[in-house]
Amino acid sequence: MTTDTCVTKHDKAAQAANQPDYDAIKAKQQATWASGDFAVIGITLQIVGETLAEAADVRAGERVLDVAAGNGNATLAAARRFARVTSTDFVPALLERGAARAKADGFDIDYRTADAEALPFADGTFDVVLSTFGAMFTPRHERPAHEMLRVARSGGRIGLANWTPEGFIGQLFKVVGAYVPPPAGLKSPALWGTEPHIVELFGPQAQDIRCERRVFNFRYASAAHWLQVFRDYYGPTHRAFAALDADGQRAMAADIAKLLERMNVAGSSSLVVPGEYLEVVVTKR
């Protein structure tokens, strides 16, 4: 055995040892999004799904896949445009909430439990693939990008809505991360809200990439009201608070309240916090 061979094997072993435990991370993520009740938050974001469906030019009769759909905002937006929609998420309870919304509106939608990093569909199955604040939270960014490109047909569109690092949610990630750090070795989900990262992920197979920064306004009665809703119902903040002792909870709540008050554009009458996101439409070659 040569020295070079020994070094190579040693390097590979070191790299393997330093790799995050993705199975454990994904299991924890699934438990996080299943905690609280994301549907309470998700339903307030419906306008983003509608705007994205317009940007992606969803048309009647097209085959549309919603990836990491949550309780189905983009799913319903596509169905309202008479598309044939398949809605996926790795939390079955969220799909059930989405299915109840679809039933109430009289839509026939195919719901499938699926991991955004390993979609159970053949190559080129869909005309349009959508994801609103969903695929961006996967631990390995390259995998969902590859999967969305794979299941889209040539000439098909991929529409994404991703929180930006500079926007409210991106800053919230930093506040929460200071108290409950994310797993070591993972890229920030907010990278999906940057144009260079989108080009890196999708550019090699893209005919065209259009990015536009948009704003979703979080509208609540007050900072205290926002904190109560997100602490009770939004999985990531719900679990973050649960991971802290009483002093830590009070400190993190105070820091989040400061962020909310600093970004509030409604004065003292209520809470309106602009949340910047990146709207992306990729046309596959």
For the segment 199-214, what is each residue's pLDDT rounded down to a tens digit?
Answer: 999 999 999 999 999 9
For the chain, which ranges sit under pLDDT 50?
1-6, 12-14
Would you state the pLDDT for residue 14?
46
Contact 267, 223 (CB under 8 A): no
Would you state the pLDDT for residue 18?
67
Residues 2-23 have pLDDT tens digits of 444 445 555 544 455 568 999 9
Q: What is the CATH number of domain 23-171+180-217+275-284?
A: 3.40.50.150
Residues of the chain with pLDDT > 90, as a percent, come to 92
Would you state the pLDDT for residue 11?
54
**78: CB partners within 8 A, 6+ apart:** 53, 58, 64, 66, 85, 128, 130
Would you state the pLDDT for residue 124?
98
Distances (CA, A) of 159 to 51, 75, 125, 163: 10, 12, 16, 14
Cα angle for residues 116, 118, 121 (degrees, 5° grid): 100
* CA gap 199, 187 in Å, rounded: 16
Six-digit token string for 123: 């190559």
**16: CB partners within 8 A, 6+ apart:** none
Contact 119, 89 (CB under 8 A): no
DSSP 187: P
Would you state the pLDDT for residue 3?
46
Q: Tell me, rounded to whole angstroms, the distance of Cα 175 from its chain centroid.
A: 18
Would you state the pLDDT for residue 19?
83
Residues 85-101 have pLDDT tens digits of 999 999 999 999 999 99
* CA gap 186, 20 in Å, rounded: 8
Would you state the pLDDT for residue 102?
98
**Stated pTM of the model:** 0.92
Contact 109, 96 (CB under 8 A): no
Residues 48-68 have pLDDT tens digits of 999 999 999 999 999 999 999
